[in-house]
Amino acid sequence: MADEDNPKEYRWETGYEKTWEAIKEDDDGFLQASVDDIVQRAKRKRQTLKHGSQKLGMMRHLYLLLDCSESMASQDLKPTRLICTLKLLEMFFDEFFDQNPISQIGIILMQNKRAERVSDLTGNCRKHTKVLGNLGKTNLSGEPSLQNGLEMALSSLKLLPSHASREILVIMGSLTTCDPGDITLTIDSLKSEGVRCSVIGLAAEVRVCRQLADQTNGIYNVILDDSHYKDLLFQQVNPPPAAVCLEASLIKMGFPHQPNNEGSEEPLTMCMCHVDSVDEGSKLTTGGYYCSQCFSKYCELPVECRVCGLTLVSAPHLARSYHHLFPAANYMEVDYSSQTNVCFSCQKPFGEGDKQVYNCPNCKKYFCLDCDIFVHETLHICPGCSTNPLTFQIAVTH
Amino acid sequence: MNIVLPEESQQDASSAEETSLLVIILDSNPGQKMLRESPHVLTHCVDSVIVFANTHLMQKVQNKLAIMACHSKSSQFIYPDQGKHGDIRQVDGQYEAFTAVEKITKKNLAKVLTSDGSAVITESLLAGAIAMALCYIARLQRTKPPGAKLNCRILVVTGSSCSTSQYMNYMNVFFTAQKQNVVIDVCALDQHLNLLQQGCDITNGLYLKVPQLQGLLQYMMWVFLPEPPIREKLVLPPPLKVDYRAACFCHRQLIDIGYVCSVCLSIFCKFSPICTTCHTVFKMPALPAVKPKKRKKM
Ligand SMILES: [Zn+2]
Ligand SMILES: [Zn+2]
Ligand SMILES: [Zn+2]
Ligand SMILES: [Zn+2]
Ligand SMILES: [Zn+2]
């Protein structure tokens, strides 16, 4: 995974689908330019499939079911399936909590026909990273039991309030599962509870996994190689469409701010988050965030107040996920016929090499392909719209 | 919330390939309060910015510069521009590149200022200008020679006030800058800018409200000229505490406790039965501690 930024590794972008037919030599007899082009176009295509304004499950509660059976010791992923998985999961957790600020993840292991919960549902990313660190030393043994894992996750997800989006992500190395009963009954109850189950297979397609994902509106994929694995995992970062039975509600939250008492020394106080932690006990410190309701102190946000139960967040935490709901409008591909000399945003001069340019339906500005991708993948606002008094708020009011 | 590891000091061997790009966004909107009261202040600001920009170029041969004007109805790059400038010659022995920066900037700024003279728009769309700057930076990062290192920062110079109507746009550009390792510095000329201050905090940039406009150039040289890695070693104005409270979507007021829509995460200061953003209808809040009795079937 050393050169992640190398665009050439993205063979999977087009899913190995007859890409060779699309590769043509360019005028100078080079192939690379056309390969890059395929990659770029695949990105664009995926982007245009996303639609804004549909209802999403933003308050996600995701159980990760991790296969820790013998099959995870296989070395078809380097160095082993398990180590590769743990590395990718670490990146995944960072990105997940970055994009889903008030969501929670729990981890369940499947081995020796049993399920073991190693981490309860929590929004604390560092706790998970710690758990992952210890998992590297797990003894991989026996067969997994998918049914036991699913049942354990379901029993916990069942208890959540009705506005919580419930999900299970299974990472399955084994081609078999050793279940105590009829797994189709488990799948039925997952379905009726509105739990969305997605599966990433590390070996080959397994019928019961396909059935599980199909029945619960999840996604099932089998990886091709490690970069494809990463892509599949990172698809789970985007919040899924809200389940039909998901109820909406207004949730009371606190937005703590640090009081600005200039001049006077800030008092030393204890925080609530480390109060019962064994390895790093609570110390007297200045600073921190005070619960807006009961004034208990916490070192970090977001957190659920241990005293009064209020969820404490900062406004930018919430703002990080607004782009899922208010994406920039998709640009239209038009043939270039000297509409403009330069790309509106990056100032790249358009020339003979540019057969297509991209036009924003709201502000009518023209952009290059690179900017189209950058705007829709990363920036999430149109530079043309946001510099024009008539259009800068368009995303908010649609 | 944003931990960026300090750059390992690699100033020795690799410094030859390191380039610093500075993008200056100059708020030239005649609708900003400061300029409505005394329009001539703009000349002073432009002069200071040009001297500052040239000092940046002087520090290292490889240093790069771009200047943007954020105007009432549009934002655009005024330096460098697409034109050819064969006619710029040395003046009084001044290095040509510096003369070019001054000439081109002033010429293009004059064009911008005369372009729209109609209705006064008080709001400067700075978030949009930053979005353009980020696209420009992303292009230079894509096209730089392999192995080269390009450190980028954006300096916003403005006398406008902060408007919450651009809140979402601001947050998007701040998070993008943070992801792309672009530092955002803000030089506030007139009013305190809470939202832009959050951007500085998120991207590890510096925020300064200039106490006296006459001293603008000195303040800029002191605070904004040093490269971000060097800043840690300097004595700079102490960081202010940033107010990260939420502004409710209904009244745009800062609140300590609010209600968040579980579907779209919009923030409201009071309970309402329907979300004005995503039009979801909510069930009424459960009354605490009163469990509904199960009705027996008749
Ligand atoms: Zn509390
Ligand atoms: Zn462009
Ligand atoms: Zn647009
Ligand atoms: Zn309100
Ligand atoms: Zn809503």
Q: Give the Å distance between the CA of B247 and the centre of ligand 4.
A: 8
Confidence of residue A296 (pLDDT cuts 50, 70, 90): confident
Tell me if B73 and A251 make a contact (CB, 8 A cut-off). Answer: no
Domains and CATH numbers, chain A: 56-234 (3.40.50.410), 252-310 (no CATH), 332-397 (3.30.40.10)
CB contact under 8 A, A258 and B202: no
Residues 6 or more apart from A82 whose CB is under 8 A from it?
A68, A72, A73, A135, A136, A138, A140, A173
- In this complex, which of A56, A315, A389 lies closest to B244 when CB atoms are compared? A315
Who among A326, A348, A375 is closest to B139 (CB)? A348
pLDDT tens for residues A44-94?
Answer: 766 666 655 466 777 899 999 999 999 999 999 889 999 999 999 999 998
Whether residue A205 is predicted with pLDDT greater than 60 in this model: the reply is: yes
Residues that place a CB less than 5 A from ion ligand 2: A 343, 346, 348, 368, 371
CA–centroid distance for B40 within its chain:
24
Give whichever of A130-139, A359-368, B111-120 has the largest mean pLDDT.
A359-368
pLDDT value of residue A18: 43
Share of chain A above pLDDT 90, in %: 42
Contact between A380 and B265 using a beta-carbon 8 Å cutoff: no
Q: Provide, as residue numbers in chain A, all residues whose Cβ is less than 8 Å from the Cβ of B245.
A: 255, 257, 315
Q: Is A248 in Cβ contact with B283 (below 8 Å)?
A: yes
DSSP collapsed to 3 states, chain A:
CCCCCCHHHHHHHHCCCCHHHHCCCCCCCCCHHHHHHHHHHHHHHHHHHCCCCCCECCCEEEEEEEECCHHHHCCCCCCCHHHHHHHHHHHHHHHHHHHCCCCEEEEEEEECCEEEEEEEEECCHHHHHHHHHHHCCCCCCCCCCHHHHHHHHHHHHCCCCCCCEEEEEEEECCCCCCCCCCHHHHHHHHHHCCCEEEEEECCCCCHHHHHHHHHCCCCEEECCCHHHHHHHHHHCCCCCECCCCCCCCEEEEECCCCCCCCCCCCCCEECCCCCCCCCCCCCEECCCEECCCCCCEECCCCEECCCCCCEECCHHHHHCCHHHHCCCCCCEEEECCCCCCECCCCCCECCCCCCEEEECCCCCCEECHHHHHHHHHHHCCCHHHHCCCCCCCHHHHC
Q: Does B235 touch chain A (CB under 8 A)?
A: no
* Shortest-distance ligand to the CA of residue A304: 1
CB-CB under 8 Å, A323 with B132: no
Q: What is the mean pLDDT of chain A?
A: 82
Chain A nearest-CA distance from B156, in A, is: 15
Mean pLDDT of the A344-348 span: 94
Average pLDDT per block of 10 residues along chain B, 298 residues long: 44 62 93 85 93 92 93 89 65 72 89 76 90 96 90 95 83 92 94 90 91 92 90 77 79 86 86 84 62 47
Please give the residue of chain B at the shortest CA–CA distance from A301. B1
Q: Check if A195 contacts B (Cβ < 8 Å).
A: no
The residue with greater pLDDT, B113 or A348, is: A348
Q: Which residues in chain A are closer than 8 Å to B280, comparing Cβ atoms? A: 55, 248
* B260 at A interface, C-beta within 8 A: yes
Pairs of CB atoms within 8 A across A/B: 191
Q: Return d(Cα A349, Cα A341) in angstroms, integer.
A: 6
Better pLDDT: B100 or A144: A144
Q: Which residues of A touch B134 (CB under 8 A)?
A: 379
pLDDT band at A397 (very low <50, low <70, confident <90, very high): very low
Nearest by CB to residue B135, choosing from A301, A341, A383, is A383
Tell me if B120 sits within 8 A of B30, measured CB to CB: yes
Q: Does A350 touch chain B (CB under 8 A)?
A: no
pLDDT of residue A5 exceeding 50: no
> Which chain B residues are Cβ-neighbours of A342 within 8 angstroms?
82
pLDDT the model gives residue B18: 85
Dump pLDDT digits (tens) for A216-249: 999 999 998 888 899 899 989 988 887 766 778 8
pLDDT above 70 covers a percentage of chain A that reads 78
Instruction: Check CB contact of A295 with chain B, cutoff 8 Å.
Output: no
Distance from CA of B119 to the nearest CA of A (A): 12
Task: For residue A27, name the pLDDT band (cuts at 50, 70, 90).
Answer: low
| pLDDT for the residue B11 | 43
Which pLDDT score, from 0 to 100, does residue B1 have? 44
How large is the average pLDDT for residues A109-118?
93
Cβ atoms of A387 and B125 closer than 8 Å:
yes
Chain B residues inside the 8 Å CB shell of A371 = 135, 138-139
| C-beta of residue B216 within 8 angstroms of C-beta of residue B210 | yes
Query: What's the ipTM?
Result: 0.84
| Shortest Cα distance, chain B CAs vs residue A68, angstroms | 33
In angstroms, the separation between the Cα of residue B92 and the nearest Cα of chain A is 32
Q: Check residue B118 and report its DSSP letter.
A: S
How high is the pLDDT of residue A65? 96
Nearest to B245 among A315, A347, A371 (CB): A315
Residue of A nearest to B172 (CA): A379
Q: Tell whether the model's pLDDT for residue A147 goes beyond 70.
A: yes
Which ligand is located closest to the Cα atom of residue A331? 3
Q: How far is A77 from chain B (nearest CA, A)?
A: 29
Query: What's the confidence (pLDDT) of residue A46?
Result: 65
Nearest CA-CA distance, residue B210 and chain A, Å: 19
Instruction: Say yes or no: domain B17-231 is CATH 3.40.50.410.
Output: yes
Q: Give B-chain residues touching A316 at CB under 8 angstroms.
A: 1, 171, 174, 198, 202, 244
How far away, in angstroms, is A323 Cα from ligand 5 center? 14
Q: Which of A250, A257, A348 sits opposite B259 (nearest CB)?
A: A250
Answer whether 0.90 is exceeded by the pTM. Answer: no
Q: Which residues surround ligand 4, an ion (CB under 5 A)?
A: B 248, 250-251, 269
| Chain B nearest C-alpha distance from A346 (Å) | 4
Residue A112 to chain B, least CA–CA distance (Å): 39
Closest ligand, as measured to the CA of A272: 1
pLDDT value, residue B174: 94
Quote the pLDDT of residue A233: 93
Answer yes or no: do A249 and B75 touch at CB < 8 A.
no
- Distance of CA A359 from the midpoint of ligand 2 (Å): 11
Q: Supply the pLDDT for residue B209.
A: 92
Q: Which pLDDT belongs to residue B30?
A: 86
Q: CA A244, CA A250: separation in Å to the nearest integer?
A: 18
Domain ranges of chain B: 17-231, 245-287
